[in-house]
Amino acid sequence: MVKLIDIFKKNFQADILDSHEQQGNETIVVSPERLHDVLGFAKNDPETLLNALMDLCAVDYLGQGPRFEVVYHLYSTSKNHRLRIKTRVPEENPKVKTCVDLWKSADWFEREAWDMLGIVFEGHPNLKRLLLFDGFEGHPLRKDYKINRRQKIPEPLERP
């Protein structure tokens, strides 16, 4: 069987920064600039047909080179294989292109990643907080957000 990693290496030679197969999960790391192209290819190429975005999340590697990692877990319902695609974005500009145009499931997953870790998804139709209230300060899943930090309690609204 052809490995998914090899298919991507063949088509995106220089853009695959890294790849591994820990615990049987095939993983590729791509640059944020080419991320959207790679995702589009993964979804539509007849060899891969990864038509379901199962999960999208971000990880905070505080103190490392590009600080944040955005992780996409893809699955193909017709070919029954999985692929993890990752990209690294820096602390000062944590920005990737949205993939809502490819998968509608990305809509809320991206809002959650923005809410929890402050990753900006360029072109997202409605990038606002999903789990927390609008006045919440900071992004709680960042490693430098203290676990016991308290938030300001929102003021009750004035009756008109």
CA-to-CA distance for 3 and 28, rounded, in angstroms? 12
CB of 129 to other proteins, least distance (A): 8
Name which of 8 and 68 has its Cβ closer to other proteins: 68
Q: Which residues contact 89 (CB under 8 A, 6 or more apart)?
A: 32, 66, 67, 68, 69, 70, 95, 96, 119
CB of 102 to other proteins, least distance (A): 9
Name which of 24 and 92 has its Cβ closer to other proteins: 24
CB of 77 to other proteins, least distance (A): 5
Distances from the Cα of 32 to the Cα of 35, 38, 42, 107, angstroms: 5, 10, 15, 18
The residues binding other proteins (CB under 8 A) are 22-23, 25, 27, 51-55, 57, 59-60, 71, 73, 77, 80, 82, 84, 103-105, 107-109, 116, 130-133, 140-141, 145, 147
CB of 131 to other proteins, least distance (A): 5
Residue 115 CB neighbours (<10 A)? 20
